[in-house]
Every structure is written in C-alpha cells, then in structure tokens.
C-alpha cells in the first residue's frame, strides 16, 4: 500500500454526529438531482469550485484591526437563555421505541435536512422554511417568513444571497446552524483584489457575503424562528479592520472567499468540544464555536498541467493547481478525531483547544511557542480506487465523491462514496513514527446491491449504519454481517445523525425526505 501521512495524534473523548448530505435545496434552482455537483476533471480556472489555490499565510501581518463587536453587522438577536424548552431526563423527551416514524407521528412534511440541538429540539429544513419540533410541546414551529440568507429569495440574481439551502445542524438549546449554497465561479475570482480598504467596493463586498451559514433560534415565546446572526466572526490572524459581516472567509487571509457553499454539517455531541460544529464546503472544512469560526482545512492534492514551451520546443511549461474537492463526508473517530472525506481524499485530524490556530497545517512564524496545533494523522487517497504517486503530485486523479467516513468501536475505519463503494481499512501507527498512521488492509464490503453510498454512522453498540442512494438503509453488524434495516421505508438515505447523549442512544435517519429515529444502538 502507498502510505502518505502527516501529523500527530491527540486522543480526546469526543463524540460527534455522523452526517453526510445529498439533499435537495428545495427551490427548483441550482443542481437538479439534489447534489451540489463536483467540477469536471478539466474544470477551467483554479477557483472554479475545485478548491483553487490557497493563499500564502500572512502569519498575522494583515490583521491590525479590532475584534468583531458582538451584536453588530446584521441586527441579530440575543440567544434565548433556555432555548424555549424544559430540562429532560437521561432518556430524552422523545419515544424510546426501537423505531419511530417521526414524520407520521409529528406531522413533519418531506424535508431536506435534520438536526438536533443541545436541548433535544429537532430542527428541519425545507427550502426557505426552517422548522423545529420543540421538545417541550412536541409541536412543530416554522419560520413565519424567510429569514437570513433566504430573506431575498433564492437564485443567482446579483441582489440574492444564495441559490438554495442545504443542511441544518443543531446548536445550543433552541438554536440551529443553517447552510446555504451559491455559485462557485465568482465573477473576478474568489478574492478581493489588493490589500487595502479601498478594495471593498459595494458590489464586490456584497458578492462575498453570499452562501455560507446562518445561526437561527427560537424567539422569546417559542412561537417563531428568528435570525441570530449570519456567521462572520473569524478568530484567525487575518480580519478586516472594519467590523463587517462578510461571511465565512479564509481565516489567515480574509481577502479569499473560497468556502462559499455549505454541503455538510456535523455537531459535536459529547466531550470537551460538545456543541462545536464542523461544516464541509465546496473547498474544505470550517470549524465553528458558537458565533466564531476558523476556516479552513482540507486533504488536498496538486494537479499538474503540462503545455509546450512558447519558444523552446525542448521544454514544457508545468502549472500546478490545487484540488481540494467538495466535502460531504464528515465523521468522528473513537478518540474524537475529525474524519474528512472529500471528492478525492480522506483525512484524520485531531482537534486542538485554541480555535485561532486550528487552520494551520504546521508550526510557522507568528504562532506562539508551545501552541497545540491540529496536525493530520492521516492524509491520503483511498489506494484501491485512487492510487497516487509518492511525490504527492499527480496529473490525474479520479473523483470518487466520498460521502461518509467513520470508525467503529473495534477500531476499523470505513469510507463510502457515490459510485466508489464501501471500504473497510485500518489506520495504525507507523513503525518509524507513532504520531502518524498508515492506511492498510483495505476490504471492499458488498451485499447492499449497489456501489452508491450516501452516508455512514458508527454507533456505540459496534454497528455501522450505511445509507445508500437507491436501496435504503443498511446495517453492518458488529459481526460484520451487512443486513437491510427493517421498518425504514424509502430508497435514498439523505442523512444520518447519531446522538449518544440520550439513553438509549438515538439515530436520526432522513430517507426520501422522511425522518425516522432508531433507539438503542
């Protein structure tokens, strides 16, 4: 096996939701099959949705400004202290039956995404409508009108902020994060030209606010959902000197707007980082802590393009272009490490405490000595389906469209994608450096009658739940038997959200727009 690895492992007890989304934006605009489409292999410019090139870190030299002022920028409201709900028992406020059809029981229409907040309220997303099934009343509350990025309607007109909505993740009690998509081919490129304040012309400035993510909440009496804030508070070393709500931007150079469309969302459910959220975008992964974020990380590779030299026939011009890919697959390891699966590669990334330095790949100038960094333990292609060269530079790499990445209780890892199958493998410390791991012993898991997988969720009983595009929900038992899950109807699994905070644990399954919940795994 080819082993390509970076980094150190930090073992912490963290549990996260397991989410991979292939959801419709509910608008009839944008992608017609419900997926945000990955760019073709011959995508034109480096920034045409394939990740483009990363800026050179400024090591803090561009900052010079003040921290964002709470409450400024978008007129957001303060959070409701108790989230509009009452405390719950260890079992939680919902049925403890082995299987419940929540859509039928609670009158939830077909939705595109589901999430659970800190007080067990269940959030759903339907185009420009945001709903929450309150844990105290067990009644569904919808937004009375479109809010946030949906307030100007969905589309690609210059005055609109998003072409559609994508995912929803529970936040603190009574709060949720809502992701949006927009076009990735930005007129003029994904960068504000120059380095000065004069570069913030109004049209360009508005363009860079599109897509990204809103934080919403129940209002004071729990009868409506309102915008708290459109995320913009980067904790990185680079921020504009004006406290402006410019959305999610590159945290070490705010001039770059590479992360524009949110494709997946995962809430940390347990451990020292409970309540944090990771989102996968058209470019990488952003880490969110309440209203603040660090952007971004991505297992990337370099595409080499060779053309004849214009004057010397014996020479050629070699151009490098970074490929990061769309990130749909977010998961967790048993030690609480972030698992990333994008269009091409997978990565294992331990979290660190200081959010400001989470976006840094290695020690560099400007980082205080002794700072804990988040360094890849594994950063690789899945060798059986996408082998690469040892020098980490390739002239071609097939897009495997990975959609899920999980680790089960026995320590084995699983990665699955649309058209690339379901694979089991090991990631064990290398002999020469125990802080790094090698991916070995790949085994293809067959039996579901398809190679198109949409989501994975590892549960505390040792199972791996497997979502397919056309054959419903399956379970790989602890004994490694793949079996169809009875009672869960539908064919396309859009999302799996695992919540170990309640006893028995809960697995939320979104299939063909309907919400089912399995307890006890």
Instruction: For the chain, state the CA radius of gyration.
Output: 22
Task: Pull the structure tokens for residue 174.
Answer: 């009574």
**From CA 298, how far away is CA 404, in angstroms rounded?**
15
Task: Pull the structure tokens for residue 503.
Answer: 């006893």
What percent of the chain is modeled with pLDDT above 70? Answer: 76
Determine contact, residues 165/25, Cβ cutoff 8 Å: yes
What pLDDT does residue 243 have?
Answer: 58
- Which residues contact residue 408 at a Cβ distance below 8 angstroms, ignoring those fewer than 6 apart? 414, 458, 462, 463, 464, 476, 478
> Binning pLDDT at 50, 70 and 90, where does residue 392 land?
low
Mean pLDDT score, 124-152: 97
Asked, as a colleague might, if the bond just before 296 is cis with ω within 30 of 0, I would say yes
Residue 351 has pLDDT above 70, yes or no: yes
- The length of the chain in residues reads 521
What pLDDT does residue 388 have?
Answer: 59
Greater model confidence, 270 or 334: 334
Task: Pull the structure tokens for residue 384.
Answer: 């059986």
**From CA 211, how far away is CA 259, in angstroms rounded?**
9
DSSP state of 480: -
**From CA 147, how far away is CA 266, in angstroms rounded?**
22
Closest among 14, 13, 101 to 278, alpha carbons compared = 14
Q: Mind listing the pLDDT tens digit for each residue in 108-131?
A: 999 999 999 999 999 999 999 999
Q: What global pTM score does this model have?
A: 0.85
Task: Pull the structure tokens for residue 168.
Answer: 């929803």
Determine contact, residues 268/331, Cβ cutoff 8 Å: no
Determine contact, residues 9/377, Cβ cutoff 8 Å: yes
Q: Mind listing the pLDDT tens digit for each residue in 209-232?
A: 899 999 999 999 999 999 999 999
DSSP state of 66: P
């Amino acid at each position: 096996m080819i082993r390509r690895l970076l980094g150190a492992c930090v073992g912490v007890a963290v549990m996260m939701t397991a989410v991979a989304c292939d959801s419709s934006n509910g608008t009839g605009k944008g992608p017609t099959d419900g997926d945000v489409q990955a760019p073709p292999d011959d995508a034109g410019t480096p920034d045409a949705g394939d990740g483009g090139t990363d800026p050179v870190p400024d090591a803090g030299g561009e900052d010079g400004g003040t921290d964002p002022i709470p409450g400024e920028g978008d007129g957001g409201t303060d959070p409701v202290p108790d989230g509009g709900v009452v405390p719950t028992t260890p079992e939680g406020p919902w049925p403890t039956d082995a299987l419940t059809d929540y859509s039928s029981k609670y009158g939830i229409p077909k939705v595109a995404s589901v999430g659970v907040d800190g007080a067990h309220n269940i959030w759903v997303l339907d185009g420009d409508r945001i709903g929450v099934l309150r844990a105290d009343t067990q009644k569904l509350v919808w937004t009375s009108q479109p809010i946030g990025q949906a307030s100007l309607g969905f589309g690609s007109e210059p005055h609109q902020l998003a072409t559609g909505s994508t995912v929803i993740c529970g936040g603190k009690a009574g709060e949720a994060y809502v992701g949006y998509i927009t076009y990735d081919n930005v007129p003029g490129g994904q960068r504000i030209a120059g380095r000065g304040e004069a570069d913030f012309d109004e049209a360009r400035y508005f363009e860079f606010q599109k897509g990204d993510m809103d934080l919403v909440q129940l209002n004071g009496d729990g009868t409506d959902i309102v915008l708290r804030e459109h995320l913009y508070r980067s904790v990185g070393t680079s921020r504009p000197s004006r406290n402006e709500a410019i959305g999610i931007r590159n945290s070490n150079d705010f001039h770059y707007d590479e992360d524009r469309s949110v494709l997946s969302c995962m809430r940390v459910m347990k451990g020292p980082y409970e309540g944090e959220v990771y989102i996968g975008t058209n470019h990488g992964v952003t880490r969110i802590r309440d209203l603040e974020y660090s952007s971004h990380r991505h297992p990337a590779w370099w595409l080499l393009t060779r053309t004849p030299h214009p004057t010397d026939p014996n020479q050629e011009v070699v151009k490098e272009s970074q490929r990061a890919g769309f990130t749909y697959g977010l998961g967790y390891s048993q030690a609480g490490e972030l698992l990333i699966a994008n269009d091409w590669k997978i990565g294992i990334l331990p979290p660190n405490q200081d959010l400001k330095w989470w976006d840094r790949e290695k020690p560099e100038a400007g980082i205080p000595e002794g700072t804990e960094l988040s360094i890849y333990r594994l950063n690789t292609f899945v060798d059986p389906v996408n082998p690469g060269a040892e020098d980490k530079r390739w002239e071609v790499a097939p897009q495997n469209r990975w959609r899920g990445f999980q680790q089960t209780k026995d320590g084995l890892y699983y990665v699955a994608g649309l058209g690339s199958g379901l694979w089991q493998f090991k990631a064990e410390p290398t002999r020469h450096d125990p802080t790094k791991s090698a991916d070995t012993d790949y085994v293809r898991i067959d039996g579901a009658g398809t190679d198109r997988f949409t989501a994975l969720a590892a549960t505390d009983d040792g199972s791996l739940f497997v979502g397919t595009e056309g054959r419903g929900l399956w379970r790989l038992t602890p004994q490694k038997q793949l079996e169809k899950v009875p009672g869960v109807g539908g064919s396309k699994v859009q999302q799996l959200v695992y919540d170990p905070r309640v006893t028995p644990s809960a697995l939320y399954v979104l299939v063909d727009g309907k919400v089912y919940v399995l307890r006890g795994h």
